[in-house]
Amino acid sequence: MKANNYSRRPNFPRAAVAAAISAALSVPAVSLAQSGDIDEIVVTGSRIPADPNVISSVPIQSLNAEDIRNSGEINIADIVADIPALISSQTAENSSTGANSLNLRGLGGDRTLTLVNGRRHVAGFRGSQAVDTGTIPRALVRSVEVTTGGASAVYGADAVTGVVNFILRDDFEGFQVDLQQGLPERGDGRTTAVDATWGMNFDNDRGNVAVSLSFEDDTGILYGDRDWSKDNGISSVGPRANPSTDPNAPPRAVVDNPTFWLTSQAGSIAPTFGGRNTTYVDINNNGIADCQESEGGRVGYLAGCWITNPDGSVRVNQDGTVLGTLWGQGGDGGVISANRDSLYPETERAVVNINANYDLTDTFNVFFEGKYVEATSTTFSEGDGFYDTLFIQADNPYIPSQLLPVVAQTGGLLLTQDPHDFSDNNPSEYTRETTRFVAGFEWEMSPEHTLEVSVNHGEFTNTSNITTTVLDRTFAAIDAVKDSSGNIVCRSDLNPSAAYEIDYFAGSNSYADGAYSSDRYYSFTPGDGQCQPLNPFGKYSASEAAQNFITMPLERVLELDQTVLNATLVGEFEFASRLLDGPIGYATGIEYREESSLNILDPLDLGIMPAGTSYPPRHNINKVSD
């Protein structure tokens, strides 16, 4: 096997260019192989062979295998993201789905081209060229080269910010097993990685084959597991405060326990629109109308006079510190995170990779790369839906007894809520599968001219299994009454043609053609016993039966395919070397690339109803009009 291969099997000496400028760029040190027989190299960002002692015209930063081993990191994306230009990258630590993508200069993964052995890789995200770097076999990475300028002239518009090239070993011999495990001092968030690699040279070192198997397991971390994140403790930059609502609020603040003061998880309650100066009841017996004690209560079109306690009693709503039209700090406002939420997703990943190459002659080499990756990430988030100023009818049996005098005067209540208990406690699961094959040959046509031809095909599939709340079920379940036996049931069970109330946002979005109530039942048949009444007053007050009724599972599948045919001819001409400072190098080639994307939505996303509704199975309700 030749040592002066220019692209497929770049040797450590090619890092000399990066080493020459590493001091100025303050990047990690680069290890240089002790070899003097390399006459030319090709650095990522240019396909033209050059003297390795000449500094590149574009900035190159490089990590080698030793840097990767010494980093102590398990995820290859975390290692590369330590390079300053890649600090904005998406890693498992800031990804809700466990996927990883590189982001040069903070301009987005769409403008950062990720290559493997100098060749394109199938994307791992919808509507993007970004690659899920978690699919790259960590055990076979020889080096990583990062080009942060001038790459779009070579690779196109998706390399505007630069190129990250993962170079894999093609000469591995022997059997190696690596076991790494990281355990935070608090005992949660354990990460484990096992790599087993076998390789051999054969036929008098004319060929090499290497197989790598990797398994990774991240157990995940919850918001409640960390002091700085539990109890809604994450700090947030608040907007400029409104001094008219709270003169003591800071003009701008980084706050703990940020909240939305105009809603709550327990439900913010008010009499009907207006009448906020009236003392319907005086819950805290201080002689002040309860609605006048909070901003959400004073504003006649909001709901924020009372909050339901865990025992079913009510108290006067407390704003905390109002920071603006939405944000507040503390008080009874809606929080942005819950202790059961996933701070760091659980992820299991398995990688199978095989690389092989063989010198048919001294000048003709064939190569093959193949891999299959399956990764499953699991996250959980409290079912944080939102409805605004929903009218609760006077005969709803869940109305707190302390507010019955209010209902007697107003005929109902308004309720605004960011409920945490509308979830059925099912986590979201994302399964990503990546398959990639590369085959080709490299032919040294003459000592100064080399042709490479390759075929590259990759497929990516992301299957998302999540849970959603269904509007008609939710509002019908909240619209509860008592039957003749005193049992709490849905109103639609007693009267299948009864209209249910809908909230401000659903009504404003023409859910019922501008009305704020509807007698349209799409996802179930009213009166058939499916509907389960839901108690909206209080945090975690919904029964398990109600949770299961108002939620439905969704499965969404994203499929991405990429096929690339590439032929590249590089070399140099010596005829003018005496007139010029060295030979004239050139690179030319042709590439055909075909990419396709298919996003398969769940039938419910498309308005296609399941069995058990008043419509025929698989009927599309988007075509219904009246």
Closest by CA position to 462, among listed 147, 5, 128, 158: 128
Write down the pLDDT at residue 572.
85
Q: What is the CATH number of the domain that holds 34?
A: 2.170.130.10
More confident residue, 346 or 73: 346
> Does residue 593 form part of some domain?
no
More confident residue, 574 or 487: 487
More confident residue, 482 or 28: 482
Report residue 5's pLDDT band, with 50, 70 and 90 as the boundaries. Answer: very low
Q: Are strands 162-168 and 112-116 parallel, antiparallel or unpaired?
A: parallel
Q: Phi first, then psi: give them for residue 50, nearest 5 degrees.
A: -150, 165
Report the C-alpha gap between 516 and 30 in whole angstroms. Answer: 66
Q: Name the pTM for this structure.
A: 0.83
Closest by CA position to 220, among listed 332, 344, 110: 344
Report residue 358's pLDDT band, with 50, 70 and 90 as the boundaries. Answer: very high
Tens of pLDDT, residue by residue over 541-551, are: 999 999 999 99
Tell the residue number behind the tokens 């306690």, with chain if given: 309
Asked whether the predicted pLDDT for residue 40 surpasses 80, the reply is no
> Does residue 239 form part of some domain?
no
Residues 6+ apart with CB under 8 A from 393: 412, 479, 501
Report the C-alpha gap between 28 and 26 in whole angstroms. Answer: 7
Compute the radius of gyration of the chain from its Cα atoms: 31
CA dihedral 266, 270, 271, 277 (to 10 degrees): 150
Of 439-443, 504-508, 522-526, which has the strongest mean pLDDT?
439-443
Cβ(268)–Cβ(304) below 8 Å: yes
> Total structural domains in the chain?
1
Give the lowest-confidence range in 67-81, 265-279, 555-569: 67-81
> Does residue 279 form part of some domain?
no
Summary mean pLDDT of the chain: 83
Amino acid identity, position 148: T
> Does residue 508 form part of some domain?
no
Report residue 524's pLDDT band, with 50, 70 and 90 as the boundaries. Answer: very high
Report the C-alpha gap between 392 and 381 in whole angstroms. Answer: 27
Residues 6+ apart with CB under 8 A from 123: 129, 130, 131, 460, 560, 562, 595
> Does residue 319 form part of some domain?
no
Write down the pLDDT at residue 29.
35
What average pLDDT score do residues 463-485 get?
A: 95
Write down the pLDDT at residue 36.
43
Asked whether the predicted pLDDT for residue 93 surpasses 50, the reply is yes
Proportion of the chain above pLDDT 70, given as a percent: 84
> Does residue 505 form part of some domain?
no
Amino acid identity, position 404: L
> Does residue 213 form part of some domain?
yes
Tens of pLDDT, residue by residue over 432-454, are: 999 999 999 999 999 889 999 99
Of 160-174, 268-282, 318-332, which has the strongest mean pLDDT?
268-282
What average pLDDT score do residues 603-613 get?
A: 84
Write down the pLDDT at residue 252.
63
Tell how far CA 139 is from the center of its chain.
25
Write down the pLDDT at residue 251.
61
Tens of pLDDT, residue by residue over 160-211, are: 788 889 999 888 999 999 998 888 887 778 889 999 999 999 999 999 999 9
CA dihedral 87, 131, 176, 4 (to 10 degrees): -90
For residue 154, give its domain range.
12-220+346-378
Using CB atoms within 10 Å of the CB of residue 348, give its burial: 0 to 12 exposed, 13 to 18 middle, 19+ buried.
middle
Of 191-195, 412-416, 424-428, which has the strongest mean pLDDT?
412-416
Asked whether the predicted pLDDT for residue 146 surpasses 50, the reply is yes
Tens of pLDDT, residue by residue over 61-87, are: 888 888 887 777 777 888 888 888 888
Asked whether the predicted pLDDT for residue 19 surpasses 70, the reply is no
Tell the residue number behind the tokens 């192989």, with chain if given: 33
Residues 6+ apart with CB under 8 A from 359: 1, 2, 206, 207, 365
Write down the pLDDT at residue 398.
97
More confident residue, 325 or 411: 411
Decide: helix, strand or coil at residue 362. coil
Residues 6+ apart with CB under 8 A from 474: 385, 387, 422, 534, 550
Structure tokens at 590: 């042709």
Report residue 34's pLDDT band, with 50, 70 and 90 as the boundaries. Answer: very low
Report the C-alpha gap between 388 and 495 in whole angstroms. Answer: 25
How many residues in total does the chain contain?
626
Asked whether the predicted pLDDT for residue 494 surpasses 60, the reply is yes
Decide: helix, strand or coil at residue 24. helix
Write down the pLDDT at residue 175.
95
> Does residue 66 form part of some domain?
yes
